Amino acid sequence: MSAYDFDFEKFSLTKDDFKDLIYEEIMLYHSDEAAFEYIKNKRKYPDGALHLRYGNRFRKAYRDGEGDGKESGSASDSTMNKV
């Protein structure tokens, strides 16, 4: 699995947005055109293409740079300070 497949986690989505994404996922298995579009977008936008649709609705953690996978300290540092 790649970051592309989990792009939805970066955005604040509504119930209807999730329904649309689930429908699109189902179509990947029933439409050659949908599958080819998925492959094309995955190559063009390896980190995800949902920013084209939901670009202004990033979750707070991603707006502030906290959701980029970079941590300021290690888990062992924070554990050691609690002793």
With respect to residue 56, please indicate whether it lies within any of the assigned structural domains: yes
Would the pLDDT of 66 be above 70?
no
46: number of CA atoms within 13 Å, CB side?
2
Domain range enclosing 55: 3-67
Beta strands in the chain (DSSP E): none
Instruction: Please tell me the pTM assigned to this model.
Output: 0.67
Give a yes or no: residue 15 inside a domain.
Answer: yes
Tens digit of pLDDT for each residue in 20-42? 999 999 999 999 999 999 999 99
Give the whole-angstrom CA distance, residue 26 versus residue 19: 11
Give domain status of residue 44, yes or no.
Answer: yes
